[in-house]
Amino acid sequence: MSISFHQEERAFRLDTPGSTYLIALADQPGFLGHMYYGRRIPDTAMRHLLRLDPAGPPFQDNGDQLNFLGDLPTEYPGCGLGDYRESCLRVETEEGFRACNLTYRSHAIHAGKPALPGLPATRGGQEDCSTLELICADEALELEVHLYYTAYEELDAICRSARIVNRGSRPVKLTAALSACLDMDNRDFDLITLHGSWAYERMIQRRRLGWGTQGVCSQRGISSHSGQPFLALAEHDANQEHGQVYAMNLVYSGNFLAQAEMTQQEYLRAVIGIHPEGFGWKLDPGGSFQTPEAVLVYSGHGLEGMTHTFHDLYRNHLIREPWRNRPRPSLVNNWEATYFDFDTEKLLDIARTAAGRGIEMLVLDDGWFGCRDTDDNSLGDWFVNEKKLPGGLKYLADQINALGMKFGLWVEPEMVSPNSDLYRAHPDYALQIPGRKPMEARHQLVLDISRPEVRDCVYAQLKAALSSANIEYVKWDMNRSLTDVASFCLEADRQGELFHRYVLGVYELQERLLADFPGLLLENCCSGGGRFDPGMLYYSPQIWTSDNTDAVDRLRIQEGTALIYPLSSMGAHVAACPSHTNGRVTPFATRGLVSLPGCFGYELDLTKLTEEELDMIPGQLENYRKYGPVFHGGDYYRLASYGENGEYDALMSVSKDKRTAVLDYVHVMSRQRRRSVLLPLRGLDEETLYRSSETGEVRSGAGWMYGGMVMPCMTGDSTGKLIVLEAV
């Protein structure tokens, strides 16, 4: 087992293949101190890292207890008693008092990993992980906290969460309940985060860590386009292959805080969890609160090592059956082809063209329900508009199935249009503050999904629609942030629970959907990539990466996404041209290259393509069938970044057996160059011989990696190549 308690050192030890995590019981009164996290070491007696010597005598004899707590590296810090850094746990009593501090009570070590009721989380059996449960308490508050640490046997990942239990006779309010804290000394770290906006999600930002607090957050009710529940601390000279990296990612789809703080003493504290702003959870006697799971990853081999750990963890322990390792079908979505202007015959025209070229699925997007010919009505009325679709979804699905294709459907169950039958019947079902006109966005309001009767109403309609036809795929959209966050069914002292209850309601709906339709392929979407997070990945094995389908912009968006998420999770389509996002013109072949590593599809009117473009589709689909398993199941390597060099982009994936490598190269900007581009490859077996599909040249893995591959100068913007190396 990879977790142990060492009585002599009064220390807990968690080992993964390449890392060690050490926790110490500090001297009385039993604070849990963080000793060490980093490259795997054999030592456990590392109490010098608690940095207690300058503090003088033990805590209870020290006249300066405040500085003791203010400097102690702490596993799960409280508030109000001398630690002025960001706290993980904040409480407020009925009298309005705000202070808490946790001390150790007991512990247990379990084989395997417990589930988190109502929350998505990574999975693990007794054979591949073990879990440390530390039970702590604040005696004055009669509050008990269970800290969970799961260490994986084959991955350098440690998953953390906390369960807070009120053992007293009076209620208390949690005003902050974060998931994880990591205290250490600053070692010339850079802070890496993923920021963005609609249509430019997950842009990589790397900056020198400075004094004070810095990080990313969301208070929008979703993990959001503008931030990602992730941060990494990388040594300043760390690159893709070398250097130490510490990363945190939150398995959650709502408001979050991911923050690093450096004090005047150059102590560093990184925290991640539900954002405390707007959060207040009333904990009645006997009640408990479970925080979302935080994934901690350590890499001693640069960003590449971090990425590989996240990819393997999420592919094998987060994404669920039956789609965990299954090839994803190619598809065509009608949105950019027709928008709302379609009927059965138009959809079948697209489907016939698609089937003739080998595309496996047609997805019907917005506009199939209610009176939905524009975006200002009918959300919430999930019954088929038979004026558009005579015979309903069944007739359309049957016709598409007869062509040898699957059929999929778009829905947006969390929203309601003020101009809808549902809203006219139940205006109280929408989030709104009494006395205020609720704020519309995209002509829609947000349903109060925290309420069981609202979930039941929406789900009954959704289930009826999906049961009416052979629907094998659902695209679940969510197109606005939350405002007017108030519920008619929560008491005044529980309104602060609504943001979190909303997220729990979404999770319950998706769990119900998958239970009733166990073979369904679910793809989450949030106005593009606004809720691309591990929480959503638990329910849907793929997520729509961005509404921006322009191939050049997608290079940066997909690079940032792939920093932590497997390529198999990224919805990536060949879209209409000129781009509906920015008007850019890129060749059809290049759009296919950019989309190939993800979950491949088309987002355009196939009937308007040229014969030359139509003739390219079978070849693109053949590449997806042959090399999709390498992209989706292999190890990903970032060889060159268009976001950094402004000229060309290159990634490669290597199969786990190292027999096949696929290089995806796009030369974005044509410039006058004197020399070709030399790309040193990575991830190959040094002794194995590989043949290039481009030139037929055979070299050893060492030759390709250290000698590099020459990419000749290309004329014209946005040209590219797909090159395969096969072992011989």
Query: Is residue 75, in this structure, part of any structural domain at all?
Result: no
* Alpha-carbon gap, residue 245 to 48, rounded angstroms: 23
The model's confidence at residue 38, banded by pLDDT at 50, 70 and 90, is very high
The model's confidence at residue 55, banded by pLDDT at 50, 70 and 90, is very low
Residues 505 and 385 in one domain: yes
The model's confidence at residue 57, banded by pLDDT at 50, 70 and 90, is very low
pLDDT digits (tens, 9 = 90+) for 599-623: 999 999 999 999 999 999 999 999 9
> Picking from 26-40, 377-391, 508-522, which range would have the lowest pLDDT averaged per residue?
26-40
Query: What is the rounded end-to-end Cα distance, in angstroms, of the chain?
Result: 40
pLDDT at 148 over 60: yes
**Residue with more model confidence, 490 or 56:** 490
| pLDDT recorded at residue 26 | 81
Query: Is residue 29, in this structure, part of any structural domain at all?
Result: no
Query: Is residue 692, in this structure, part of any structural domain at all?
Result: yes
Query: Is residue 41, in this structure, part of any structural domain at all?
Result: no
Rounded to the nearest 10 degrees, how much is the dihedral formed by the CA atoms of 635, 636, 638, 642? 170
Give the domain-ending residue among 287, 317, 347: 317
Tell me the angle at which helices 588-595 and 551-562 cross, rounded to the nearest 10 degrees. Answer: 10
What single letter denotes the amino acid at residue 548?
A: N
Radius of gyration of the chain (CA): 27
| pLDDT recorded at residue 50 | 87
In 433-520, at which residue ranges do the beta strands (DSSP E only) sit?
445-446, 473-476
List residues with catalytic annotation: 477, 547
Q: Is the whole model's pTM more than 0.85, yes or no?
A: yes
Give the domain-ending residue among 528, 544, 560: 544
Tokens matching residue 490: 């929560």
Bridge partner residues of 251 (DSSP): 293
Find the CATH number of the domain harbouring 280.
2.70.98.60
Average of per-residue pLDDT values in the chain:
95
Residue corresponding to tokens 């629609």: 465
Task: Identify the domain containing residue 352 by its residue range.
Answer: 331-544
Residues 399 and 500 in one domain: yes
As separate numbers, helices (DSSP H) first and strands (DSSP E) second, the chain gives: 14, 38
Cβ atoms of 439 and 484 within 8 Å: the answer is yes
Which spans in 405-497 are helix H?
A: 421-425, 452-467
Taking alpha carbons only, the member of 144, 119, 148 closest to residue 131 is 148
Give the domain-ending residue among 544, 563, 591: 544
| pLDDT recorded at residue 1 | 63
pLDDT digits (tens, 9 = 90+) for 660-686: 999 999 999 877 666 789 999 999 999
Residues 175 and 269 in one domain: yes
Query: Is residue 198, in this structure, part of any structural domain at all?
Result: yes
Query: Is residue 365, in this structure, part of any structural domain at all?
Result: yes
Query: Is residue 235, in this structure, part of any structural domain at all?
Result: yes
Residues 292 and 372 in one domain: no
The model's confidence at residue 465, banded by pLDDT at 50, 70 and 90, is very high
* Alpha-carbon gap, residue 678 to 709, rounded angstroms: 6
Query: Is residue 310, in this structure, part of any structural domain at all?
Result: yes
Residues 240 and 105 in one domain: yes
Tokens matching residue 281: 């959870």
Provide DSSP, 130-190.
Answer: EEEEEEEEETTTTEEEEEEEEEESSSSEEEEEEEEEE-SSS-EEEEEEEEEEEEEE--SEE
Rounded to the nearest 10 degrees, how much is the dihedral formed by the CA atoms of 292, 231, 133, 318? 60
Domain count, the chain: 3
Residues 308 and 347 in one domain: no
pLDDT digits (tens, 9 = 90+) for 217-249: 999 999 999 999 999 999 999 999 999 999 999
* Alpha-carbon gap, residue 538 to 542, rounded angstroms: 10
Burial status of residue 554 (CB atoms within 10 A of its CB: 0-12, 13-18, 19 or more): buried
Residues 201 and 137 in one domain: yes
Provide DSSP, 338-407.
Answer: HTT---HHHHHHHHHHHHHHT--EEEE-S-SBTT-SSTTS-TT--SB-TTTSTTHHHHHHHHHHHTT-EE
Find the CATH number of the domain harbouring 692.
2.60.40.1180
pLDDT at 62 over 80: no
Average pLDDT over residues 695-700: 97
Residues 240 and 163 in one domain: yes
Residues 114 and 215 in one domain: yes
* Alpha-carbon gap, residue 152 to 462, rounded angstroms: 38
Residues 349 and 469 in one domain: yes
Residues 209 and 92 in one domain: yes
| pLDDT recorded at residue 64 | 67
| pLDDT recorded at residue 37 | 97
Residues 264 and 121 in one domain: yes
Find the CATH number of the domain harbouring 374.
3.20.20.70
